[in-house]
C-alpha cells in the first residue's frame, strides 16, 4: 500500500519562483502526511502556455535551477513533476536549443532514469498541434528523438523503476496528449503496457477546461486502466493560462482510476489542494460516481474562476460595466458583482435619445437589485456636438483649394454613439476609478462582428464572448436561481427583445431589435466555428436543399421555414452573415479583447483565422444557381 499525494496546484504561468514556492509547501505538507509519492502536473514549474518565452535562454535556465531545488527535496518522498528539459548540445528543428516537455521523477535526491531513455527524465511522445496548442513550435518529441537516433519509440519508451519502502515499483509515466492517442498510429500506453508489467500509469497534464471534455476523458482514461488492468493517476493543474487573445481555465479535476477503470478519487474542479489516496495496484475499490461536466453550472464555475483569477493576475480590483438594459450586460454585471463584490463594480447607463424608458428602467432596476455603484452618463450632447463638428469642418483640397464638407449618415451616427459610450465614457471613467471596463459581447455577435470597434467591441476582457446567446440566457436564469437565489437580473431583461437601440429602427417598445435571429443563427454560426470539420455555405446549402439543415446544425425544427419563405431569402441571409463572419468580423476580432474560452472552439488563438475575405466554392455557386433556377 502506497500513500500517494496528487497535487493539482494553481500554476502561475511564467513565474517559476511562485510555482516553486507552492510546490515546496505542497511537498512539506505531503511529507508531514507521510506520503510516499507526490505527483505534480505537467510543466508545473514554467507553466505551459507561455508564447515565445520558451526562446529565452535565461528563462530555461531559471526553470531548470528551480527544478534542481525540487529534486533536492526528494528525501523520503518520491517527487514527480513536469518541467522543461534542455539538451544544450542539440538543436530543435528551428535551430534553437533542444527542449523537451519532460516528466521528472526524483527520489532520495536523485533523478530516476527511464530504463531505456538516453536522459534522466521521461519525454512527451505525442504533440498536440490543434486548437490552442503549439507543442511542435517549442519542444522535441520522443518520436522525433527516435527518428534522430534511428530507433523506434518502442525502444525508448520505458517505465521508471523506484524502490519505495522495499517495494520495487514500475511507474509508467506519460504526459497529457500521450494518453489521447486515438488519432495517432501508436499508443504510448499500449507500448508501455505491452513491454512492461507496470504498477501504475501516471499521466501528468496541463489540460485546459472545455465544456464537456471531462466526460470524454473519463471514458478514455477509464478504458485505458481497465484494458491494461493497471491503476491510472491523472494529475492536472488548476489556474488560468493564455495565448494572449484566448484565456483558458484549467480545472484540475485530477482523477485516480483503479485497475478496473473505476474512479476512486477525484479532486474538485478549481481546487488547488493536495489530495491523497492509499493505492494498492491490485485492489478492487468501491467506485465513486462519475462527475458530470456538461451543464450551465460548469460554465458558471469556469467563468467565475477565470474572471476572478484574471483580475487578480492583472491586479485589477475595480470594474466598470456599461449596462444597456439588455441581457449580456446584465449577466456580466451579476457575474462580476458576485466575484469582486458590489463595492467594486460600477454600472453605468449611457442613454441617448434612442434609448427607451423601458431599458433605462431595467438598467436602474438591475443596479438596484445588485446594490452596486451606479451612474447615468448621457451621450447625446457629445454625439450631437461631434456630428455638428464633422459637418462644419472644412476639408480642404490643398491642390485645388476646394473646400468640402462631410455628411454624416445614420449608420455612421450609430457607430459614433457606440464609440462615445466605450472609448470616451467607459474607458475614461474606469481609468479615473482605477479599474477597467468589460466587453459584454456574446459569441453570436463576435462571430459576425455585430459590434462597433472601439465601441462595444472593446474592454479589458470579453468574458462572455465564448457563449452563444442562448447560453447567456441560461446563465442569467442560473444566476438568479442558483447563485443569488433571487431575481437580481430582472425578468424584463430576460424577456425583452435584444436590441442595440442605436436608431429609431431599433425601437424595443415597437418590438424591433437585432437583425440576428438567435434561435437559428446561434446554431448556424456555431456550425461555422465549432464543427469538427468546419462548415461552410456549401454544406449549409446542401443540407438546406436536402431539408436536413435543422438536424445538422442542431436548432429547433421548423425555424428555417418560419424565417425564410424562399430559397432566395435563405441564401441572402446565409451570404450576409458568411460575408461578415469571414470579412469585417475578422478585422474586428483581430482588435477584440481577450476572450475567456469555454467551448471546444473559442475565437483567438484557438480558432486561427486570416483576413482573406469571403469565399464561395465552385460547388456552392453551382448549387445556388440550381436552387435559384439560374445558370452558375
Interactions with its own copies, residue window 516-535 (CB under 8 A): 532-535
Active-site annotation holder among 22, 124, 259, 309: 124
Q: Which residues inside 453-482 make contact with its own copies, applying CB under 8 A? A: 453-455, 458, 460
CB-based contact 311:341 (threshold 8 Å): no
**Residue selected from 1, 220, 288, 314 as contacting its own copies according to rule CB under 8 A:** 314
Q: Which residues inside 150-189 make contact with its own copies, applying CB under 8 A? A: 182-185
**Calpha distance 19→15 (Å, rounded):** 6
Handedness of CA 9, 11, 12, 17 (dihedral sign): positive
Active-site annotation holder among 10, 12, 42, 550: 42
CB-based contact 336:438 (threshold 8 Å): yes
Site membership for its own copies, residue 372 (CB under 8 A)? yes
Task: State yes or no: 415 annotated in a binding site.
Answer: yes
| DSSP tag of 109 | T
Site membership for its own copies, residue 548 (CB under 8 A)? no
Site membership for its own copies, residue 56 (CB under 8 A)? yes
| Strand 78-91 with 37-39, pairing | parallel
Q: Helix or strand or coil: residue 351?
A: coil
**Calpha distance 13→133 (Å, rounded):** 15
Site membership for its own copies, residue 592 (CB under 8 A)? yes
Q: For its own copies, give the closer residue by CB, 290 or 382.
A: 382
Site membership for its own copies, residue 594 (CB under 8 A)? yes
Task: State yes or no: 329 annotated in a binding site.
Answer: yes
Phi/psi class of residue 159: alpha, beta or left (left: φ > 0; alpha: ψ in -120 to 50)?
Answer: beta
**Calpha distance 146→136 (Å, rounded):** 15
Helix (H) or strand (E) holding 91: strand 78-91
Q: Which residues inside 101-140 make contact with its own copies, applying CB under 8 A? A: 126-130, 134, 136-137
Clarify whether 10 is annotated catalytic. Answer: no
| DSSP tag of 451 | S
CB-based contact 123:105 (threshold 8 Å): no
CB of 158 to its own copies, least distance (A): 19
Site membership for its own copies, residue 361 (CB under 8 A)? no
| Strand 122-123 with 97-107, pairing | antiparallel
CB of 375 to its own copies, least distance (A): 5
Q: For its own copies, give the closer residue by CB, 77 or 502.
A: 502
Task: State yes or no: 409 annotated in a binding site.
Answer: no
Q: Which residues inside 267-306 make contact with its own copies, applying CB under 8 A? A: none
CB of 273 to its own copies, least distance (A): 23
CB of 316 to its own copies, least distance (A): 11
DSSP per-residue codes, 138-201: H---HHHHHHHTTS-HHHH--PEEEEETTEEEEEEEEEGGGG--TTSSS-HHHHHHHHS--SEE
Site membership for its own copies, residue 243 (CB under 8 A)? yes
Q: For its own copies, give the closer residue by CB, 390 or 563.
A: 390
Q: CA dihedral defined by 506, 511, 516, 517, rounded to 10 degrees?
A: -170
Clarify whether 534 is annotated catalytic. Answer: no
Q: Which residues inside 491-520 make contact with its own copies, applying CB under 8 A? A: none
Clarify whether 63 is annotated catalytic. Answer: no
Size of the site for its own copies (CB under 8 A): 131
| DSSP tag of 600 | S
**Calpha distance 527→510 (Å, rounded):** 32
Q: Any idea which residue has 450632447 for its cell?
A: 381
CB-based contact 119:126 (threshold 8 Å): no
CB of 366 to its own copies, least distance (A): 10
**Residue selected from 25, 34, 65, 491 as contacting its own copies according to rule CB under 8 A:** 65
CB of 185 to its own copies, least distance (A): 5
| DSSP tag of 219 | H
CB of 50 to its own copies, least distance (A): 5
CB of 441 to its own copies, least distance (A): 13
Task: State yes or no: 82 annotated in a binding site.
Answer: no
Which range, of 111-119, 354-362, 503-511, 604-612, touches its own copies by CB under 8 A?
Answer: 604-612
Q: Helix or strand or coil: residue 287?
A: coil
Beta bridge partners of 256: 233, 265
**Calpha distance 446→526 (Å, rounded):** 11
Site membership for its own copies, residue 589 (CB under 8 A)? yes
The 3-22 site mask, x for binding its own copies (CB under 8 A), equals: ---------xxxxxx-----
Which range, of 102-110, 273-281, 390-398, 562-570, touches its own copies by CB under 8 A?
Answer: 390-398
CB-based contact 33:276 (threshold 8 Å): yes
CB of 130 to its own copies, least distance (A): 4
Task: State yes or no: 253 annotated in a binding site.
Answer: no
Nearest to 103 by CA among 173, 199, 160: 173
- Burial group, residue 477, by CB count within 10 angstroms (0-12, 13-18, 19+): middle
Q: Which residues inside 192-221 make contact with its own copies, applying CB under 8 A? A: none
**Residue selected from 343, 357, 509, 556 as contacting its own copies according to rule CB under 8 A:** 343
**Residue selected from 229, 260, 301, 415 as contacting its own copies according to rule CB under 8 A:** 415
**Chain length of the chain:** 632
- Please report, in range form, the residues annotated as the binding site: 130, 207, 213, 322-329, 415, 445, 588
- Please report, in range form, the residues annotated as the binding site for ATP: 322-329
- Please report, in range form, the residues annotated as the binding site for L-glutamine: 130, 207, 213
- Please report, in range form, the residues annotated as the binding site for deamido-NAD(+): 415, 445, 588
Which residues carry out catalysis?
A: 42, 124, 176
Amino acid at each position: 500500500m502506497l500513500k500517494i499525494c496528487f497535487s493539482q496546484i494553481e500554476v502561475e504561468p511564467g513565474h517559476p519562483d511562485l510555482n516553486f514556492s507552492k510546490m515546496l509547501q505542497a511537498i512539506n505538507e505531503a511529507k508531514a502526511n507521510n506520503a510516499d509519492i507526490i505527483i505534480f502536473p505537467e510543466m508545473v514549474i514554467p507553466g505551459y502556455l507561455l508564447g515565445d518565452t520558451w526562446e529565452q535562454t535565461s528563462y530555461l535556465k531559471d526553470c531548470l535551477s528551480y527544478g534542481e531545488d525540487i529534486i533536492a527535496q526528494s528525501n523520503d518522498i518520491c517527487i514527480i513533476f513536469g518541467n522543461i528539459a534542455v539538451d544544450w548540445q542539440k538543436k530543435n528543428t528551428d535551430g534553437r536549443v533542444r527542449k523537451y516537455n519532460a516528466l521528472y521523477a526524483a527520489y532520495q535526491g536523485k533523478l530516476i532514469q527511464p530504463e531505456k531513455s538516453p536522459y534522466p527524465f521521461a519525454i512527451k511522445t505525442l504533440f498536440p498541434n490543434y486548437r490552442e496548442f503549439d507543442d511542435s513550435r517549442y519542444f522535441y518529441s520522443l518520436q522525433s528523438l527516435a527518428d534522430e537516433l534511428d530507433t523506434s519509440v518502442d525502444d525508448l519508451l520505458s517505465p521508471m523503476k523506484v524502490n519505495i519502502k522495499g517495494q520495487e515499483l514500475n511507474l509508467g509515466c506519460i504526459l497529457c496528449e500521450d494518453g489521447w492517442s486515438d488519432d495517432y498510429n501508436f499508443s504510448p500506453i499500449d507500448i508501455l503496457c505491452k513491454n512492461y508489467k507496470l504498477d501504475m500509469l501516471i499521466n501528468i497534464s496541463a489540460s485546459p477546461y472545455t465544456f464537456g471534455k471531462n466526460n470524454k476523458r473519463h471514458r478514455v482514461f477509464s478504458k485505458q486502466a481497465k484494458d491494461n488492468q493497471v491503476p491510472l493517476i491523472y494529475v492536472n493543474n488548476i489556474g488560468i493560462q493564455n495565448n494572449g487573445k484566448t484565456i483558458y481555465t484549467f480545472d484540475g479535476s485530477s482523477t485516480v482510476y483503479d485497475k478496473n477503470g473505476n474512479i476512486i478519487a477525484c479532486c474538485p474542479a478549481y481546487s488547488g489542494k493536495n489530495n491523497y489516496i492509499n493505492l494498492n495496484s491490485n485492489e478492487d475499490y468501491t467506485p465513486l460516481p462519475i462527475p458530470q461536466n456538461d451543464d450551465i453550472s460548469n460554465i458558471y464555475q469556469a467563468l467565475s474562476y477565470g474572471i476572478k483569477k484574471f483580475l487578480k493576475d492583472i491586479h485589477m480590483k475595480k470594474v466598470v460595466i456599461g449596462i444597456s438594459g439588455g441581457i449580456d450586460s446584465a449577466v456580466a454585471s451579476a457575474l462580476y458583482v458576485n466575484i469582486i463584490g458590489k463595492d467594486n463594480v460600477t454600472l453605468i447607463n449611457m442613454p441617448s435619445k434612442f434609448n427607451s424608458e423601458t431599458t433605462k428602467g431595467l438598467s436602474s432596476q438591475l443596479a438596484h437589485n445588485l446594490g452596486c455603484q451606479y451612474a447615468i452618463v448621457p451621450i447625446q450632447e457629445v454625439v450631437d456636438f461631434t456630428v455638428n463638428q464633422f459637418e462644419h469642418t472644412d476639408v480642404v483640397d490643398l491642390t485645388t483649394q476646394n473646400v468640402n464638407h462631410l455628411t454624416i449618415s445614420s449608420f455612421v451616427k450609430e457607430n459614433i454613439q457606440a464609440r462615445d459610450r466605450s472609448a470616451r465614457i467607459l474607458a475614461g471613467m474606469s481609468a479615473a476609478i482605477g479599474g477597467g471596463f468589460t466587453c459584454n459581447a456574446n459569441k453570436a455577435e463576435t462571430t459576425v462582428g455585430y459590434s462597433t470597434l472601439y465601441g462595444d467591441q472593446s474592454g479589458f476582457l470579453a468574458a462572455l464572448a465564448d457563449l452563444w446567446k442562448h447560453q447567456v440566457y441560461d446563465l442569467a436564469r442560473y444566476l438568479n436561481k442558483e447563485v443569488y437565489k433571487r431575481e437580481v437580473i430582472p425578468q424584463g431583461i430576460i424577456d425583452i427583445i435584444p436590441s442595440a437601440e442605436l436608431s429609431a429602427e431599433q425601437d424595443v417598445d415597437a418590438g424591433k431589435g437585432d437583425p440576428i435571429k438567435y434561435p437559428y443563427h446561434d446554431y448556424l454560426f456555431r456550425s461555422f466555428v465549432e464543427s469538427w470539420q468546419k462548415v461552410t455555405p456549401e454544406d449549409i446549402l446542401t443540407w438546406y436543399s436536402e431539408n436536413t439543415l435543422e438536424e445538422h446544425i442542431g436548432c429547433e425544427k421548423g425555424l428555417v421555414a418560419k424565417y425564410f419563405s424562399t430559397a432566395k431569402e435563405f441564401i441572402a441571409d446565409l451570404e450576409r452573415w458568411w460575408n461578415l463572419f469571414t470579412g469585417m468580423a475578422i478585422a474586428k476580432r483581430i482588435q477584440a479583447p481577450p476572450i475567456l474560452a469555454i467551448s471546444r472552439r473559442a475565437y483567438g488563438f484557438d480558432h486561427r483565422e486570416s483576413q482573406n475575405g469571403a469565399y464561395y466554392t465552385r460547388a456552392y455557386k453551382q448549387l445556388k444557381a440550381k436552387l435559384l433556377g439560374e445558370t452558375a
